[in-house]
Amino acid sequence: MDIKHPHDSFFKQIMTDKKNISDFIRNFLPENISTKINYDTLKLPDREKSTKNYKKYHMDIIVEAEIDHTPSDIIILFEHKSYKDKFTLIQILSYCVS
C-alpha cells in the first residue's frame, strides 16, 4: 500500500474487485439504472489513457458494463479524492473527451 496516499491505495484495492464494484453500483445507482446492467459483463479496462498530444494520465478506476442487453456499454468512472478539488469536473471531462 502506498504510504503517501493510504486512502487512495485502499480505495483502489477495494474497488478493483468486481464483486465490490457490483455491490457499489447496485446500492448507489438508482434502481431503474442498476437493474439494467449486466453484471456478468463488468470489465476493468486499462486506467492509463493518452491525450491527442500523447500526454499520459491515470484514472482512479473505470468500469465498463453492458446495459439493457444491448451492445452499447456504460462507463462508470470513480474519481476518488481525499481533498476538495474545484477542478474535479474538468478533470473528468478531460477523461471523457480524450
**Each residue's pLDDT tens digit in the chain (98 positions)?**
445 667 777 777 887 888 998 998 899 889 998 999 999 998 887 656 666 676 665 656 778 888 888 766 666 666 767 788 898 888 878 777 76
Output the pTM of the full model: 0.62
R_g of the chain, CA atoms, integer Å: 15
For residue 76, give the nearest of 88, 52, 59, 91 by alpha carbon. 59
C-alpha grid cell, residue 11: 480505495
Question: For residue 43, what pLDDT is reported?
Answer: 84
Q: State residue 74's pLDDT score.
A: 65
